[in-house]
Every structure is written in C-alpha cells, then in structure tokens.
Amino acid sequence: MERIERAMVFAAEAHDGQKRKGKNRPYVLHLMEAAVTVSMMTDDEDVIIAALLHDTLEDTDTTAGQILERFGERVAALVGAESEDKRDDRPRGETWRIRKEESLETLKAAPREAKLVALGDKLSNMREMARDYAKMGDGLWEIFHQKDKAQHEWYYRSMHAILAEEFPDAPAVQELGSLIEGIFD
C-alpha cells in the first residue's frame, strides 16, 4: 500500500492547481476515480499506480524518467502507453483526430494491463461527460478542443470496442457502453 500512497501524493503534487475542463473540481479526483475503477478489477499495484499517474506525462512537467525512477519500469511503460503526443507546437483542436487515432492504434496492440488503465480513464471521463451532458446538452462539446460531437462519438465507440474485446464481461466496460449510448443515441 505504501507505493500506492506515494503515487497518490505524487499525482496530487504533479497536478496541483489543475481543474477538470469547464469546472472548479480538482483534476486529481479524476485520477483517483480511474485508480478506484482499476483497483476493482486487479490487485496489481503497478497497474493501480499507472492509473493514478496516467495523465502526468501528458498534462504536467513530469518526465518519463521521474516515473521510472520513483515507480519502476513497468509503471513507466504503462503510463507511456496511455500518454498522447500532444504536439504542443500546434493547436490541440487541429491535432485532436490524429492523437486519438494514434491512441486507438497503440491501445489495440497494448498489453491487458495498459487496457485496464485506459478503461479506468475512459470510464471516469464518460461518467463526467454524462453528468455534464444531462445539464448542458450539446453545449457540452464547447468546453473541449474538439467541438464536434460526432468525433467524440467515433472515439468513444472505438475505444469501447477495443476494451469490450479484452474485457467482455466486465461491469466497467458494460457501464462505459451504457454511458456512450446515453450520450450519443
């Protein structure tokens, strides 16, 4: 448990001051929710830690070397598999589709543990989107870099298909599918 607690502190410090898109809620709550989802499917500390740290390379100044040094090679590899190349030299809306296509291709070839981290992340995202969609309707898409609802639908349905193939009977995958249907149907 000590390693997981250290990862919680590391994630909270790395994401200090960050908020969820369009909200005043601390970003670290998303990481905790992803880790809880993962912990309901595995006792593997490396995978739970990777869920806690899954956005540190993308959204903070944390380096892969720091994750490797503090949490080991396996955690670093799992976090790396879940990280997008944000292409900070170009507007995020311009690179959104490219980044999502790359993420899907990476996930298809990724090990089961990396898919589990992705499941925790995407389920947390879809829960938040479902809550927001109930309040905002199609105005929800305005808070994102990609404002086209159809593009989000393509991405989440594609992600769900990959995860459902790996974890066909998992309640988390079934919930993800239900949330997708609720928003996009």
- Number of folded domains that form the chain: 1
3-state secondary structure labels for all residues of the chain: CHHHHHHHHHHHHHCCCCECCCCCCECHHHHHHHHHHHHCCCCCHHHHHHHHHCCHHHHCCCCHHHHHHHHCHHHHHHHHHCCCCCCCCCCHHHHHHHHHHHHHHHHHHCCHHHHHHHHHHHHHHHHHHHHHHHHHHHHHHHHCCCCCHHHHHHHHHHHHHHHHHHCCCCHHHHHHHHHHHHHHC
pLDDT tens by residue, 145-170: 889 999 999 999 999 999 999 999 99
Domain coverage including residue 112 = 2-184
At 46-105, the pLDDT tens digits run 999 999 999 999 899 999 999 999 999 999 999 999 887 666 667 666 788 999 999 999
CATH number of the domain residue 34 falls in: 1.10.3210.10
Distance in angstroms (rounded) separating the CA atoms of residues 185 and 91: 30
Q: Which residues are identified as catalytic?
A: 58-59
Q: Which of 176, 182, 150 is nearest to 163 (CA)?
A: 176
